[in-house]
Amino acid sequence: MEEKTAAAAITPITVRQGAFAFADDTPAHWIPHAPELAQMINGASFTMPHLEPFLVATLGEAARLIEDPAVRREARDFCMQETQHYRTHRRFNDVILGQGYGALAEIEAEMARAYARLSKRPLAVRLAYAAGFEAMTLGLTDWLVGHRTTLFRGADPHVTSFILWHMVEETEHKLVAHDVYEAVSPGYFRRAFGVLHGSLDVIRWSRHCYRALLIQDGRWRRPSSRIKVWWWAARFLLGTGPALLRAMVPGHDPRSVKDHPWVAEWIKGHARQETRGSPMPLIDTASAAMPVPF
């Protein structure tokens, strides 16, 4: 099996503990000035304990077929990072569920069945789905990080720090799903379709979840709230759309995508913090610049 020579140049991945504590009274509307946006992000959070175990299983299966030890190692570290992610999302989601959002239980059961069906598809299809979703997260990270001072101004620092930690690590392992796909089942058209399959499927499930949350809030049928949802959805699409289009171009390689400077600063700052053995600090959401917390 021929493998990409550039795969060995992947930036090392650091597996960090997602040690974020969420109090039982953590508000569902943790962005006070934008409760609709908070619920939209919460909706995405509810997809993670179903999506990310699927990604872990898919890349774990593929890793056994890869001869290049560097790519195998990156696949292993990807799986360890994603495991930290979905376990932390599960803790956060359980706090939200404890606040009376019972309708999410049925949607979660539907997601579990859907990902069980998807897990039976051919490995090449699943790898294309994984690479497609990971392509979307690059655009999402750039948007969330680049607009953090307006999106998360005055937001709960625990949830904000958790969300941005996740986004930093999505950037850190941005190459892995793509490189594993190319190593195991290369092919342009399947990969291009995977961009649409992976990203639109996760968007669809996220919408199901945040719709249920906003219905429970009594906001979904409120015209002012629906306009805000459309506004945030439009901004999300404008933020992630270019990343998806780039990923569909023949010969696309995530190595060509530059990381946001704040992400690079966060990674360097955490490395310094880890050497001191201190716990991960929280982002100061009251700060005008919201610098890295290290």
CA distance 101 to 244: 32
Is residue 89 assigned to a domain?
A: yes
Structure tokens at 197: 């399959």
Is residue 104 assigned to a domain?
A: yes
Q: How many domains does the chain have?
A: 1
Q: Domain of 47? A: 33-276
Is residue 84 assigned to a domain?
A: yes
Q: What is the pLDDT of residues 124-147, one digit of tens each?
A: 999 999 999 999 999 999 999 999
**Whose CA is closest to 173, among 235, 269, 85, 292?**
85
Is residue 289 assigned to a domain?
A: no
Q: How far is CA 112 from CA 1, 51, 54, 55, 287, in A?
A: 33, 9, 10, 13, 39
CA distance 88 to 18: 6
Is residue 248 assigned to a domain?
A: yes
Is residue 11 assigned to a domain?
A: no
Nearest-10 crossing angle of helices 69-97, 176-184: 130
> How many other CB atoms are found less than 10 A from the CB of residue 62?
23
Residues 145-162 have a mean pLDDT of 97
Is residue 291 assigned to a domain?
A: no
pTM over 0.85: yes
Q: What is the CATH number of the domain that holds 175?
A: 1.10.620
CA angle 173, 26, 28 (to 5 degrees): 80
Is residue 5 assigned to a domain?
A: no
Q: What is the pLDDT of residues 252-271, one digit of tens each?
A: 999 999 999 999 999 999 98
